Structure 1
Amino acid sequence: LQEALRLFFNEQTQIVADETTQLAVQPFIEGQFEIQTLLDQWFNLVQECKIYTHHLERPSDEHIFSNAFQNVLHTGNNYEILLQLEYIYQSEIEDMLKQRDKQLQELDAKHHREMQEVVSEPTDKYPDVYVRNLAQKHMEDKQVFYC
């Protein structure tokens, strides 16, 4: 029974589709409409559509990110999770910065001792080139912390 209903439904659908197509094409077959008029109308509609879609602006990446971020933020408990992560990251970064500052202070003290040693010695013991190279090494050591 189901197979018979399916076949009947398919046949009736095909008949309706054929009749609809015939009604749409009949005026052109009988010469009531000119093909060129239809083509001109179609061409004009395509041009209007192109102009319309051309003027639609693509959203900027910032706009897309903003919308996506808002959707993620306001879905479920994501807001609380992000706040917790921000707090954890903040404390970790503060610890890292404190550690870096301590290491920089230790390095500065070491550099100061080395320079004091070189400067306090007689000038013939350490040539100018040695002093310049030592100063350059000190600068390179510090740059490691800022990269």
Structure 2
Amino acid sequence: MEYSLSDLTKMTGAKRRSVQFWAECGAILANKETERAGTGTHRRFSRDEAIIACVIAYFAQMHVELPQLTDLAAKFRSMLPGIRDSVEKAITNEMVVYLIVQDRAEDVKMYAVGCNRDDPEDKQVEIDQTIGRLATEHLHEADSGAIILLLNTHLVALS
């Protein structure tokens, strides 16, 4: 499935100009056939890029600057093939999936953890402990922080 700029604007809740800017700066990548194809050709985006747009929209709302937004998009894009099944299940709400972003002085790290809605309670407790560890393991470092994002809420527009 492909999405237009207008579709991404509706899905993310971002302003059209913001989504255009993300595309122009490479935070989201249009299909090669439609990128800079000239007047009258509208950019089209893959499902992966629509997912990425929904994720980075949150960070844009938090006033993350474009270079960092582009870096976050690239990190999420690179991890997406490995978590695709979980992301698709988050979209359909079969699974609860969290994205943990660790902002460390030397770099930004990203992790995805989750469990099926019908998993036993001990599995859910294990996920909670993993989230807690990932969110706090680096906080003794200067200039560090963590963001925990429930992907389900940010990807619901793709369902």
TM over 0.5: no
Greater RCO, CA 8 A, separation 6+: 2
Larger strand percent? 2
User: Under a length normalisation based on structure 2, what TM-score does the superposition of the two structures give?
Assistant: 0.19
TM-score of the superposition, structure 1-length normalised? 0.20
| Structure 1 or 2: more helix by fraction | 1
Which one has a bigger Cα radius of gyration?
1
